[in-house]
């Protein structure tokens, strides 16, 4: 009896500067480029713009479909930084890559000022880990610049997110809270077709919640009818299952989570180890195709 995998509907998502993302034919790989001094998952700092540019170009060569550039750590317990400090980290990298990368650049920020400046420097997508819960002006900034907007589910700030990790029905509550983020974005002028959703595995969720989300992704995707991004890469919910290994050593566990996301119909996966995860995604896609 053939295995039947969750359907993955097709979407055309407009992005800033006249481009589009065509989602659905296969799962796209988003490479993570953290230009912070305190990334939880990367052993080496990429604060030097030249190193960050070289890393982004390597990701593209390794098969990344998008690059997500972040200047503020969102790991549990991370300190918040000002928009000026964040911009001092990301703008040199964005400007150096603009015109050199052939793939879209995303800015990982929840701040409207950063989003506007990043768009002017070449970013075409905004990845908001707060789901519009920290800066209510962010949606208006995306409406003005034409950037696509990724809305991630989270509760609370980085230093207190686990205090709010209480759920009776994790998929039902995550779906309802993402639906409210979508409503806020549309009310601020962002067209629905520019929105992508991310259930936020590892954010304000205990390991059981994150595994529950991964296991029930098709329900969430069907309920929201928007493209789905999943970002399990090296996160702490994997730690116990891989023998307590530190974040940089969790790529095998990440590979399993990425495979589950692809088979469940994810449109984009966000990862650190691009070359390795491109292989994982391609094999998982073959399994889907033959299923």
At 148-196, the pLDDT tens digits run 999 999 998 776 777 889 999 999 999 999 999 999 999 999 999 999 9
Query: What is the Cα–Cα distance from 217 to 6, expressed in whole angstroms?
Result: 9
The total domain count for the chain is: 1
Would you say residue 2 has pLDDT above 80? no
Which of the residues 270, 282, 288, 289 is marked catalytic?
Answer: 270
**Are residues 267 and 28 in contact, defined by beta-carbon separation less than 8 angstroms?**
yes
Query: What is the Cα–Cα distance from 9 to 129, expressed in whole angstroms?
Result: 24
In a domain, 18, yes or no: yes
**What CATH number should be reported for the domain holding residue 272?**
3.20.20.20
Identify the CA nearest to 89 among candidates 49, 124, 117: 49
Place of tokens 């996301």: 261
**Are residues 150 and 178 in contact, defined by beta-carbon separation less than 8 angstroms?**
no
Q: Which residues pair with 148 in a beta bridge?
A: 125
**Are residues 135 and 182 in contact, defined by beta-carbon separation less than 8 angstroms?**
no
In a domain, 134, yes or no: yes
CA dihedral sign of residues 39, 37, 142, 271:
negative
In three-state secondary structure terms, 43 is coil
In a domain, 21, yes or no: yes
At 189-214, the pLDDT tens digits run 999 999 999 999 999 999 999 999 99
At 89-109, the pLDDT tens digits run 999 999 999 999 999 999 999
What is the CB neighbour count within 10 angstroms for residue 39? Answer: 24
Across residues 29-45, what is the average pLDDT? Answer: 77
Helix boundaries (H) for 98-169: 112-120, 138-145
Tally of CA atoms within 13 A in the half-sphere of 136 that contains its CB: 4
At 231-256, the pLDDT tens digits run 999 999 999 999 999 999 999 999 99
Which of the residues 111, 155, 226, 235 is marked catalytic?
Answer: 235
Task: Tell the burial category of 50 from Cβ atoms under 10 Å away from its Cβ (0-12, 13-18, 19+).
Answer: exposed
Catalytic residue flag (residue 270): yes
Would you say residue 76 has pLDDT above 80? no
CA dihedral sign of residues 279, 270, 75, 177:
negative
In a domain, 62, yes or no: yes
Beta-carbon contacts of residue 54 (< 8 Å; ≥ 6 apart) = none
In a domain, 101, yes or no: yes
Would you place residue 40 in the very low, low, confident or very high pLDDT band (cuts 50, 70, 90)? low
Would you say residue 43 has pLDDT above 60? no
Identify the CA nearest to 64 among candidates 285, 290, 268: 268
Domain range enclosing 179:
14-290
């Amino acid at each position: 009896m053939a295995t039947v995998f969750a359907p993955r509907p097709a979407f055309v998502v407009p992005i800033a500067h006249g481009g589009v993302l065509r989602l659905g034919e296969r799962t796209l790989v988003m490479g993570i480029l953290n230009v912070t001094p305190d990334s939880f998952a990367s052993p080496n700092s990429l604060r030097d713009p030249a190193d960050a540019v070289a890393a982004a170009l390597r990701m593209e060569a390794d098969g990344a479909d998008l690059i997500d550039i972040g200047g503020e750590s969102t790991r549990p317990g991370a300190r918040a930084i000002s928009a000026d400090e964040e911009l001092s980290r990301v703008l040199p990298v964005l400007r150096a890559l603009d015109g050199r990368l052939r793939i879209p650049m995303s800015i990982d920020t929840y701040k409207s000022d950063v989003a506007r400046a990043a768009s002017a420097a070449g970013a075409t997508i905004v990845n908001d880990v707060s789901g519009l819960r920290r800066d209510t002006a962010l949606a208006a900034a995306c409406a003005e610049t034409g950037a696509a907007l990724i809305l991630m589910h989270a509760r609370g700030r980085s230093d207190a997110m686990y205090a709010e990790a209480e759920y009776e029905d994790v998929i039902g509550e995550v779906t309802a809270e993402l639906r409210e983020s979508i409503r806020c974005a549309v009310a601020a002028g962002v067209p629905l077709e520019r929105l992508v959703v991310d259930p936020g595995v590892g954010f304000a969720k205990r390991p059981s919640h994150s595994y529950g989300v991964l296991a029930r992704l098709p329900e969430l995707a069907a309920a929201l009818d928007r493209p789905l991004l999943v970002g399990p890469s090296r996160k702490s919910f994997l730690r116990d299952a891989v023998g307590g290994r530190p974040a940089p050593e969790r790529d095998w566990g990440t590979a399993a989570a990425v495979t589950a996301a692809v088979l469940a119909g994810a449109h984009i996966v966000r990862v650190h180890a691009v070359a390795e995860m491109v292989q994982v995604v391609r094999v998982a896609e073959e399994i889907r195709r033959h299923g």
